[in-house]
């Protein structure tokens, strides 16, 4: 067995079986981590409601994940992905229309669940 093949075998072994450190890592709470999977099972206060005015957006980072918060005209607070699915622009730079959020870059509009509901200038919208 040559050195290259031996290195490949060792790399495969490392990725195939998680080390003890992976199972004992309680400090990192990002998506897919042990602590992250556990913490996402519960509700967490992430922002003071009275600090989020209707029609406003706020970027938020919680548990190593970026989100966009906004309050629609109905007063309901929504949490969406941090970036637009189209070109990756920060959704927090967009503007609130009713209870939806419109992306600043190309105008795609998202409802409170994060579903794209309008794609202006697309010949065949696929939202």
The domain tally of the chain equals 2
Q: Read off the CATH number of the domain in which 77 is found.
A: 2.102.10.10
69 & 95 share domain:
yes
pLDDT digits (tens, 9 = 90+) for 59-110: 999 988 999 999 999 999 999 999 988 888 899 999 999 999 999 888 899 9
Q: 69 and 22 in one domain?
A: no
Q: pLDDT tens digits for 9-60?
A: 444 444 555 566 666 677 788 888 888 888 889 998 999 999 999 999 999 9
* Cβ-based burial of 80 (10 A; exposed 0-12, middle 13-18, buried ≥19): buried
Question: Nearest Cα to 79, choosing from 49, 114, 43?
Answer: 114
Same domain? 28 vs 76:
no
Domain with 84, as residue range(s), is: 55-118
Model-wide pTM > 0.95: no
Distance from C-alpha of 55 to C-alpha of 50, rounded to nearest angstrom: 13
**In this structure, is the dihedral angle defined by the CA atoms of residues 103, 107, 111 and 114, taken in order, positive or negative?**
negative
Phi and psi at 57, nearest 5°, equal -120, 155
Q: If you search the block for the tokens 């998506």, which residue do you land on?
A: 31
């Amino acid at each position: 067995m040559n050195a290259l093949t031996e290195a490949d075998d060792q790399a495969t072994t490392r990725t195939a079986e998680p080390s003890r450190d992976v199972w004992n890592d309680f400090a990192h709470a990002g998506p897919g981590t042990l602590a992250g999977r556990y913490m996402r099972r519960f509700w967490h206060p992430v922002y003071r409601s009275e600090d989020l005015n209707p029609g406003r957006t706020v970027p938020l980072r919680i548990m190593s994940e970026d989100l966009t918060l906004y309050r629609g005209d109905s007063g309901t607070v929504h949490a969406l992905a941090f970036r637009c699915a189209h070109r990756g622009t920060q959704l927090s730079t967009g503007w609130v229309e009713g209870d939806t959020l419109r992306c600043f870059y190309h105008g795609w509009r998202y409802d409170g669940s994060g579903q794209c509901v309008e794609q202006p200038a697309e010949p065949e919208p696929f939202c």
